[in-house]
Homo-oligomer: A and B are copies of this chain.
């Protein structure tokens, strides 16, 4: 039996709201690790897909540590990240008389993490919560940084809060059960972190995409660690997205339009972001910020991750309309995160003709 490498712990440095991210194999069943961050009462929020896989283990571990455990199992899917699901969480918490010291534990992917975090931010004006992400996307991105929220019929993540967890526990063993499409979706955010911040990491991703897609444990652990480091560093500098943090939305303005235009849940968030990064690269090239070779590299690595590179045909006017309600839209002017060059971000409005040319070029 191969010895397991020790877990790695990073710190997200946010003053009194600082918290650790622990990354490693089989952390879910560690008898002391998660329990250390949970109070006397825990309410685990998960979904119908994840519950059969990990809910018993986590419940047993927490109960074994003497915690009183409640669990709430929601339907799975981005389309369930809505008010109705949030109310189900509140209904159970209130029916079971969970008090202000109850710790909510988010066991699942990005939808569960975002929704549970928002429930924690707003239940009795705020209770503690712990993120236990079980998808690659949640481990490399959504569980870190304190963005929580739900969708509104008119826009994704339109209702939410900045609210930091007590801890993030990323058990890489949970990725073994992840469907291939979801693995690819997580790789989109890994690629993003390289593209906007760290050209050397981008090179590493290109070289190791085969290992990542094949779920090589060491390669995945490194990708998660480096992604969390990059994201934690950006969040540390700009917790509430006053400026810099917006660079993490690279590919997301296009991506959100795809998700909203097709209806939430048709494309996975990571798939939309993957395609959105190809579109943002195309737009960066049109404005002379990167060369054609860089655009090709981004397209190739997105494709190698198993992600779509051709955008759905929503109609140019619908595309523009969808992008205008994006949260980055301030004062009525759409701002884009572009590459200038690969490995460095720039945030700016763009000429409408360049944007329309990108839509024409990228739509299938």
Contact = CB atoms under 8 A, between A and B. Distances in A.
A161 interface: yes
Given A126-B161, A159-B122, A100 B154 contact: no
Interface in A145-159: 147-149, 152, 154-155, 157-159
A161 B121 CA distance: 7
A154 B94 contact: yes
Interface residues of A, number: 39
Q: How many copies of the shown chain assemble into the complex?
A: 2
A124 B327 contact: yes
B99 A152 contact: no
Contacts of A330: 99-101
Contacts of A95: 154
B158 A124 contact: yes
Given A94-B155, A97-B324, A162 B332 contact: no
B99 A332 contact: yes
Given A90-B152, A125-B147, A97 B162 contact: no
A57 interface: no
Contacts of A100: 327, 330
A116 to B, nearest CB: 14
A77 interface: no
Tell me the dominant secondary structure on chain A's binding face.
Answer: mixed
Nearest to A147: B125
Interface of A: 40, 83, 87, 90-91, 94-95, 97, 99-101, 118, 121-126, 147-149, 152, 154-155, 157-162, 240-241, 324-325, 327, 329-332
9 contacts: A83-B87, A94-B158, A99-B329, A99-B332, A101-B330, A121-B161, A123-B159, A125-B147, A125-B241
Given A91-B154, A94-B152, A125-B327, 18 more contacts: A90-B159, A94-B325, A97-B332, A99-B329, A99-B332, A100-B330, A118-B122, A121-B161, A124-B160, A124-B327, A125-B149, A125-B157, A125-B161, A125-B162, A125-B240, A126-B162, A126-B240, A161-B161
